[in-house]
Chains A and B, each alone.
Chain A
Amino acid sequence: MAINYMNPLFEVVRNYDRCIKCRVCERQCANEVHHYDPDLDKMVADETSCVDCQRCVTLCPTRALKIRKNENEFRENGNWSQQVMDEVYKQAGSGGVLLSAMGNPREYPVYWDKILLNASQVTNPPIDPLREPMETKTFLGKKDQEIHYDENGKAEFKHNPYLELDVPIMFSAMSFGSISKNAHESLARAAQELGTYYNTGEGGLHKDFYKYGPNTICQVASGRFGVFKEYLDTGAAIEIKMGQGAKPGIGGHLPGMKINEEISRTRMIPKGTDAISPAPHHDIYSIEDLRQLVLSLKEATNWEKPVIVKIAAVHNVAAIASGIARSGADIIAIDGYRGGTGAAPTRIRDNVGIPIELALASVDQRLRDEGIRNNISIVVGGSIRSSADVVKAVALGADAVYIATAALLSMGCHLCRSCNTGKCNWGIATQRADLVKRLNPDIAYKRLVNLVHAWDHEIKEMMGGMGINSLESLRGNRLMLRGIGLNQKELDILGIMHAGE
């Protein structure tokens, strides 16, 4: 018999005084952890397959369940942690690449939490958001066109295509395939109600969602899944995915077991085979090739839609951004190393890429140094966790933010990071019909709307406190930020002073 080296990660702790044996936990666990033992007349748990998704804990009507880290401990070791050792055991067993889901969970510094905001006092009054207009509307697109006045003093100017957002928050790319149809429907309906946009991701656009076209950004990724003329014409904008924060340098990966009839049709690929997007676009090997694709897409859609180029935050992100700004693209989306994913090799997710805060600061400054900041709008993501992060991002120079993990959390995700197994108990990262049913778009879209409204309200409160009543006056306004616990180099890159200065 082979030795099983894999420790269960979690323990299921049940309070038998509270358990009423309703068996909800048994029925709702796709990993088959709980079951009712009629001989013992009690609920028992097999914790080996528990992923701590919290479905049973949340649904238990008497709060009888708790999931804890498995208390079985290896001998303490500052260098070889238990997790690192488990990963070696896994690879020795499988011979395969470690796969993970969602964003980098490692203990790297979170710069958002080391930046503080200003408030106006005495010399400059704060503005009361309950009594004065507070505007968070923003436009994404090129702003470098000229203006002329004719002899009658009438203004003549060219219109560039743009996206108009009522709040500076959009839903980031998550493909149909990595998440369920119900999840997409919730995002689409929420985007429509909020006056913002959601992103198809690289899985194409399901026919049922064409009606949300005016609030849809259609992504063109390296695999070109689901890309054809009608797809491009339906959306409000087109996004070329050059990279993704969670896995810079490699393409998307959808395991074959997640590809059913609907996914196959939407992505225009065969059922059951793994959908692996290539690392580069095989027609983009240099910056001028990107320009060619940008202009081709514009030509294909009659120059009516803005083109977004999405890149991962890597070491020379500022230079890349400068090249993209000159390529004809209207908007650049930068995805930081904390960005989420449905499936990625663990080592790439945890070790490749740089924090979005630093990438944003250096891209914004570089574009201004070159005098081309208004050729392009900047959208950032990976990871934006709260309205405070949004305010700090705008103050560093972003025009808007992309949220994805926060959106999934609103829909029920508990970051158990097992999306790649396809057994999401919350109906989000799965294609199994019985699981997808668990995500009711009528409920989920309202929660998304609630989240964004709440954040918008908080943004207005913070802006008012700073004496600002329109988002455009916060954009790039670095004097509103101070660092705390940062060294001089970090402060220089962020372009902010230390608290107290």
Chain B
Amino acid sequence: MRDQAVPSFEVVGRSEPKVDAYALVTGKPVFVEDVDVAGSLHIAFLTSSHAHAHIVEIDTSRAEALPGVVLVLTHENTPARRYTTAGQGYPEPSPYDARMFDTTVRFVGDRVAAVAAETRVIAHAAVRLIDVRYEMLPSVLSIDAALSADAPVIHGEDDATGIHDAARNIVCVVKADVGDIEVGFAGSAAVVETVCETQYAQHAPIEPHVVRGYLDNDRRLVLVTSTQVPFHARRIVSRVLDLPLYRVRVIKPRIGGGFGVKQEVLLEDVVGLVTMRTGRPSLAVLSRPEEFYASRTRHPMRVRVKLGADNDGVLNAVDMEVISNTGAYGSHALTVMSNAGSKTLPLYNKAPNVRFDGKTVYTNMPVGGAYRGYGATQGYFALETAMDELAEALAMDPIELRRRNHIRVGETSPIFAAIGEGKEGVEQTVKSCELERCIEIGAERIGWEAKHGARWRDGSWVHGVGMSIHMQGSGIADVDMAAATIKMNDDGSFNLLIGATDLGTGSDTILGQIAAEVLGVPLAKIIVYSSDTDMTPFDTGAYASSTTYVSGNAVRLVAEQVRDQILEVASSMLEEEAAKLRIGSERVAAPTGESVTLEDVGLRTLYATDQVQIGATASFVGAESPPPFLASFAEVAVDMETGQVKIIDYVAVADCGVAINPAAAEGQLEGAVANGIGYALTEEMLISDHGRVRNPTFFDYKIPAAPDLPRIQAILVDSYEPTGPMGAKSIAEIGINAPIPTIANAIYDAVGVRLRTTPFTPERVLDALEEIRQNR
């Protein structure tokens, strides 16, 4: 849905059908598991049923004796090298605290052994024949337990690196201080403080983790994997297996969603090792329960936010304290925690006094990883709740309070420079921000004026509306690099080779659109091939909302270079200065009206005159990370008798710069909001007193189904980011950050209860209603 006229592009800005739509809708075998490789071994895992234990002895003899079992891996016959599974740039800002198979298990689901066998059934049968003797260790099953004085040490090994204070289970700390926070509060007319807690949740991509490995005809290891980070996977596998990087190839075909859980190198090492040792192709697929408990999760967090403002509501002091639970291993522990502040605090840049204090702790619980929103989701819960509480303290409309405080074009925040991703941040000034328009449209669409405070009743249902505003980023400035290669073909078509990773997001399509726009051809003339470490240039991968902005800029740059090469050739053909020529509609035209087709140029350069391959490679690193913005509004109905919360209407209005493909951008927003609604209302990994996930199935862990959701209204406002490709920023993550605070604020509007623990289950709502009744 657009609200104004689009800048004039030919291909960009159109909802072109995705380049992989035909293959996907006809069920072509394009996913990892779809292409069988003859003779593949199936890999099954033995995982720990103890939260914390030493492995005293492993006896694999019965498993190895089972006919059809080819290889059994344990800590006794695998590399001891420590690494991080986090798919981040090198050197990764996550501790090297993992081993392929460790001598200590640190959570229920931790890997103990792997079996490679002729069939899946045999592999699973063999897993049950592995005998393990454990020495049980006391376990840590909460943030508070982790921080208590006599807490058991989870990572006491002496070869782990990058842990801030292993003896106290503190993986990392991040602090930032601007101005003087205490002075700030002392000088504030109104001060509010809130503490919010978020739960364990899982990404639940419909395709679980899956990796195929085989040796090609040159005995190089090829890993075909459902990954968001092919280049990081290649590097990490090479390092863990002590295999030269040039002997490894990683390919990502179509994958069935990631949402961050596949920004991780979880199975590639084992599959690689099995294939190398046996010489045979091998396949590992996580079962759905393993996907829940043995892959990665959202980091549960406790976030305290304190705000101080003057009587006009302008913020004077903003204080955020974060304690994050990373579970048994520290992948993404630091960066997710720091993003809780770095992607939230700059939104309200008016306060001269800002403090951020974050720490992440180990527990013997499932492992947190990258999950869409990446800490900002948890941070916004507390921040946008506190803002609503501040509005109430000041008797001010919540929208008005946001208006008086949010960042605008031309402005900066000290937090941009103060908090980075494991290092210094990068200062930047906002160059595009249509948040005002987003708020205006959203408020109108939801019916804010009429509904806010009205609490209209419909039987036992009471209605309310709530809102929140958000920013995110577009890639990691100074860190994320993307490259793209284009070569021209005989017929004036082009191959676009990109490292960028399409998870179903449509990045192949939008990057193709950018190239098509610059080269003056329809999208069909751009043949996109992506995510193959042999064939495509480098890209950090799909995370940090980087693909449109960082990879997009790389594509724009290389397309411009190729365009310029074409113009040079055309200039000879048309005997006209290149600067006077225009490319478009698959031709190059001179001011006289004379033109040559791109095919003419292609044939000439490949076969006829001054033969040369027209093509180039270009790279891009962002000097900044221009934030997209979002205004989110929801109408909820709360059943006063059961506590159930229903979403009646949801409006998400975003400024993502120019939307390269509006349907794809809307789809990202719709899906992210849907996921966020699940995170707000129904999704919760329940962990037993022994650290076991009790509900690792779709039967027991409820993600939204179609009837759970209203028709989510995703609206893109027109905007233009001067540093973005064609004016684009990003849209991938921001939508998921909104539902929790928006819904929390709507519930408050409806029934006057302030919920600070997610998910907002009917029982929690009813308990809160009961408390209010009793206090009256």
Do A and B come together as binding partners?
no
Residue numbers of B with Cβ under 8 A of A are none
